Amino acid sequence: MWEDGKRDAISDSAGRSAQWFALEVKPRFDKAVAQALRMKGYDTLLPLYKKHHQYGTRSKTSELPLFPGYVCCHFDVRARLPILATPGVIQVLGAGNIPIPLSDLEVNSLQTAMKARVPAEPYPFVGTGHRVRIHSGALAGVEGIVISSKPRLRLALSITLLKRSVLLEIDRDQVGVEEGAPWSELSQSTSSGTAFDVAQGD
């Protein structure tokens, strides 16, 4: 699951200068900030996952942010005052006072996975390993790092600036290595940064 917004006149006016940035927000303000920014006309990305809670004989399912405390937003950094003025927003992440944009590839991979409604959960940050790229099917364009391949393919998608990752589980019979190492080798090493093409069945 995810929450996103469609761009209108505000973000369109920024043209090609608009990029994806990560916003640090106050605790439990994630959804409120994302909604407020969408109402202002900005594209937002707030990936969510479902967590089941058991209370004695009762159970409850909640939708929680995969990256608590952060909301991704697409805007022109030169016109960021409306972003910073949004209640709940603390700052735009960067180096000191200089905002740093997020990787388009990382954001696009996460967006595609969320739109495909692939089950996801928070995972410790993974920055290196065997990268694979899915080039067909609902997950076309997704690039991630193989954590394991048995019995299902476990793929980590990372947002490097946040030092956070998301774990996806995909049926292996829907995904096959087209080039590069076989599955047995892909899950044995985390030292390679090589990207291998992967085909996913429709």
Q: Domain check: are 178 and 92 in the same one?
A: no
Q: Per-residue pLDDT tens for 49-81?
A: 988 777 777 778 889 999 999 999 999 999 999
Last residue of one domain, picked from the residues 60, 86, 102:
102
pTM value? Answer: 0.79
Q: Sign of the CA dihedral 22, 26, 27, 32?
A: negative
Spatial CA neighbour of 70 closest among 27, 106, 117, 111 = 27
Q: Decide: 31 and 46 in contact? Cβ < 8 Å.
A: yes
- The pLDDT, as a whole number, for residue 12 is 39
Section 127-154 average pLDDT? 85
Section 100-109 average pLDDT? 96
Is pLDDT of 173 > 90? no
C-alpha 156/C-alpha 107 separation (Å) is 13
- Range(s) of the domain holding residue 161: 105-200
Q: Domain check: are 16 and 44 in the same one?
A: yes
Is pLDDT of 1 > 90? no
Q: Domain check: are 12 and 75 in the same one?
A: yes
C-alpha 60/C-alpha 197 separation (Å) is 39
Alpha-carbon separation of residue 122 from 1, 16, 33, 45, 97 (angstroms):
13, 31, 21, 16, 28
Last residue of one domain, picked from the residues 102, 130, 158:
102
